[in-house]
Amino acid sequence: MMMTSDWLTSRVQASPQKTALIIGEQQWTYAELDQKVNRVCARLVDAGVESGDFVGVLMPNCLEYVCLIHALARLGAILVPLKTRLSAAELQWQIEHVGCKLVLYSEELVDELSIVNSQWSMVNESWLDGDLSLTINNCQLTIDNYQAVVFTSGTSGKPKGVPLTFNNHFYSALASGYLLGVLPDDVWLSCLPLYHVGGLAVIWRSCLYGTAVNLHPRFILEDVNRALDSLPITLISLVPTMLHRLLETRRHWPASLRLILLGGAAAAPELVERANGLERKQLTIDNCQLSIVNSPLVAPTYGLTEAASQLATMTPAEAAQKPGSVGKPLLFTGVEIVDENGRSLPPNAYGEIVVTGPTVIAGYFNAQRITDSDSSFNPHPSSFHTGDIGYLDDDGDLWLVQRRSDLIVSGGENVYPAEVEAALKRHPAVANACVVGLPDAEWGQKVAAMVQLLPEVSLTESELLAFCRDRLARYKQPRLLKFVSELPLTASGKIARQEVMAQLADD
């Protein structure tokens, strides 16, 4: 079994003076980052953190968060990244589900503290400065040790804890770099939140590659455009909503940019074509003359939290020739299309996507709580039934037909109708509800709900939305509500979801 110290220690030994992190006008080398991480380790030890402890982090993207990621790995503790957009009740459930020994937070999120009976500690700049430091005998971890438990939505409406190992991250980084390439001076612009597997993956991959991360607190259009125009950004991770907004404000891409990794939701071929058609100011020397060269930049990707991010990715040149596909499975990853009985299907046949490989988790946190009816759980290591519908074409390229059953992907965030419906039905005036996703030019999909009220009960849209705000994150709340006396039903008595969608789309 492979033993390893934390990856930052190894990176500092290899390239201490290379730039590790850029935030705004500040930047740090790997050696400088390592010193700050050591100070954070001392703070964590003082707080009683030990190897094997679960530590929640409720913070926006920042230097302190990056240091915590590396410090927890150095101590052998397990990161539990908490979404800053969740309601108090959602946070409470996740913290208790994992059993966090400590929850770390930043000052701007202090209002959340009253909802959890846990040990809390505020992280600020003082954690990174001063003489407080710790000499650490680096914890000799196996590569199969847990690095984080990342929560993702479940088809039953309850979140699921996804335990990611260093092994998952390692093979994901290796496979991504193998396909997309790594240059010594790469600078990866990331505005994906560090509580998402995509944001976390950028931190670990860059550390393993020895390249730099330009980290943003979130997607702020002006700041991202400024970074693209003033820094030598070579890669950027985006969801389709972000790319759509960038295209509304840009006339060209910078010369340094070589790749736009586009994931988180299905990307319309028109969006990819429009992004690739934007002029790229890249100058090359050909017979001593300068010329402008345009080449495709967008690499559509399909990934899952349960597989440490990327599963299949199409290179920009291939994507331009075959719009709509997400390409072939990455190195080490296997993709199979199966029918409802688990039998393998031939090319061009629709079925469930099943993935295998070393990036795939062995099971969910507290797997014994997962019921047999949950089709996405598979007890066998390195095999995962995604619930997504797709097919492999004759070339072996993967096409997505539908993300997980009834899943709504809005702005790159997963929203499961069952969770939103449960929140709506908790209102005493609501008899039943059906939630669907409707197409939206900016968000990809928007959450829409048809609500059946109890007889002779009055309720306004604003009252129901106010009720939901305390129970659902903002991105999960309906953007369209329609009250009805009865929901449309199928012949078997089930809610006719397609008819609900059609009626809501007409409103």
**Predicted confidence (pLDDT) at residue 243 exceeds the cutoff of 70:** yes
Percent of the chain predicted with pLDDT > 70? 86
CATH 2.30.38.10 in the chain is located at 325-402
Start-end ranges of CATH 3.40.50.12780 in the chain? 3-220+230-240
pLDDT at 33: 97
Report the pLDDT value the prediction gives residue 370, as an integer from 0 to 100. Answer: 38
Instruction: State the DSSP H helix or E strand holding residue 151, giving kind and residue range, or none if neither.
Output: strand 146-152
- pLDDT tens-digit series, residues 383-435: 799 988 889 999 999 998 766 667 788 888 878 887 898 899 899 999 889 99
Selected residue with higher pLDDT from 231 and 87 = 231
User: How many Cβ atoms from other residues are within 10 Å of residue 212's Cβ?
Assistant: 25
Burial class (CB in 10 A: 0-12, 13-18, 19+), 138: middle
Residue 477 φ then ψ, to 5°: -75, 145
Q: Rounded to a whole number, what is the largest CA-CA distance in the chain? A: 82
The predicted-structure confidence for 279-297, as pLDDT tens digits, reads as follows 776 544 454 444 445 688 9
Question: Residue 265 corresponds to which tokens in the numbers above?
Answer: 């939701």
Q: 31 CB contacts (<8 Å, ≥6 apart)?
A: 12, 16, 17
Residue 21 confidence (pLDDT): 98
Taking CA atoms, 257 is separated from 15, 60, 175, in Å, by 24, 26, 21
Please give the average per-residue pLDDT across 122-135, as a whole number. Answer: 74
pLDDT for position 410: 87
For every residue of 409-427, DSSP letters joined together read EETTEEE-HHHHHHHHHTS
Q: Distance of alpha carbon 382 from its chain centroid, rounded?
A: 20
Query: May I ask the CATH architecture of the domain 325-402?
Result: Roll (2.30)
Instruction: Determine what percent of the chain falls in helix, strand and coil, rounding each to the nearest 5.
Output: 30, 30, 40
pLDDT in tens, 361-387: 988 887 444 333 343 444 445 679 998
Residue 344: pLDDT band (50, 70, 90) is very high
- How much is the mean pLDDT over the chain? 86
Instruction: Give per-residue pLDDT as tens, 162-186.
Output: 999 999 999 999 999 999 999 999 9
Q: Are 266 and 400 in contact (CB under 8 A)?
A: yes
CATH topology of domain 3-220+230-240: Rossmann fold (3.40.50)
Residue type, 15: S
Average pLDDT of span 322-329 = 92
Length in residues, the chain: 507
In this model, does residue 338 exceed pLDDT 60? yes
Right CATH for 408-506 from 3.40.50.150, 3.30.300.30, 1.10.260.40, 1.10.150.120: 3.30.300.30
> What are φ and ψ of residue 396, in 5° steps?
85, 10
Average pLDDT estimate for 344-348: 95
CATH 3.30.300.30 domain span(s) along the chain = 408-506
Indicate yes or no: pTM above 0.85: no
